[in-house]
């Protein structure tokens, strides 16, 4: 793996400084179509509470806010540089600089969670998914996008220690048999996958 690809992998994992800002701009362009497809799969309803997990500079926030209507939108990222940029762009949204394994929200407080191009960095995926399921309400949904391993290898990130590689089988292993997985055209000759995972609804006779 060459030094440029290694540096790119590090900045994608945790953007910072001038390099982080440049990577953030590149991510905005590359993520437009995957984010749009993942938001469609998320199926946000008016009044719902939504979390953009790995929000970066907040590019998905306007679409999520519009879909949620009068609902509440949160953004979380573990990069302070990305959170600072997101806050400058979206002053009315609640942003958190925090780990994916320690989401600073109460149990069963979120209806929808978007996770676009961040699962590569979930090296303890069980801990992340435990947190995701903790904050999701019954009947909630996670929508996740990842670029396929083949596409990442073509752009030089296939051997980056910062990135996990996914194909349909490994994504299924991570999310479990209840997930729905579809292959999508992410643009720029890149293939991706969108997975959705729903939490069970509370039966009506058990609901408060």
Cα–Cα distance measured from residue 44 to residue 200, given in angstroms and rounded to the nearest whole number: 17
Q: Summarize pLDDT for 134-143 with one digit per residue, the tens.
A: 999 999 999 9
What pTM value is reported for the model? 0.84
Helix axes 17-30, 80-89, angle to 10 degrees: 60
* Residue range 18-27: mean pLDDT, rounded: 56
Q: Summarize pLDDT for 35-91 with one digit per residue, the tens.
A: 999 999 999 999 999 999 999 889 999 999 999 998 999 999 999 988 999 999 999
CATH architecture of 3-199: 3-Layer(aba) Sandwich (3.40)
Per-residue pLDDT at 9: 46
Q: Summarize pLDDT for 85-131 with one digit per residue, the tens.
A: 999 999 989 999 999 999 999 999 999 999 999 999 998 999 999 99
Where do the domains of the chain lie? 3-199
Give me the sheet containing 136-147, strands edge to edge: 94-97, 73-77, 50-53, 110-116, 136-147, 190-198, 180-187
* Residue range 162-177: mean pLDDT, rounded: 93
Per-residue pLDDT at 153: 87
Q: Is 203 a residue whose pLDDT tops 60?
A: yes
Q: Is 194 a residue whose pLDDT tops 50?
A: yes
- H-run or E-run covering 198: strand 190-198
Per-residue pLDDT at 208: 47
Per-residue pLDDT at 1: 45
């Amino acid at each position: 793996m060459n030094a440029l690809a290694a540096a790119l992998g590090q900045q994608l994992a945790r953007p910072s400084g001038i390099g982080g800002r440049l990577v953030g701009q590149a991510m905005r362009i590359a993520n437009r179509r995957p984010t749009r497809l993942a938001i469609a799969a998320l199926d946000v309803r008016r009044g719902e509470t939504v979390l953009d997990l790995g929000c970066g500079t907040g590019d998905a926030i306007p679409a999520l806010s519009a879909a949620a209507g009068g609902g509440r939108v949160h953004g979380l990222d573990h990069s302070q540089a990305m959170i600072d940029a997101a806050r400058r762009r979206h002053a009315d949204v609640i942003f958190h600089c925090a780990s994916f394994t320690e989401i600073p929200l109460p149990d069963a407080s979120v209806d929808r969670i978007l996770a676009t191009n961040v699962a590569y960095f979930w090296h303890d995926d069980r801990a992340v998914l435990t947190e995701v399921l903790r904050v999701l309400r019954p009947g909630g949904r996670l929508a996740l996008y990842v670029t396929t391993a083949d596409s990442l290898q073509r752009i030089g990130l296939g051997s980056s220690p910062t990135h996990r590689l996914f194909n349909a089988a490994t994504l299924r292993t991570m999310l479990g048999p209840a997930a729905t997985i579809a292959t999508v055209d992410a643009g720029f000759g890149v293939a991706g996958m969108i997975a959705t995972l729903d939490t069970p609804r509370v039966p009506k006779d058990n609901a408060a």
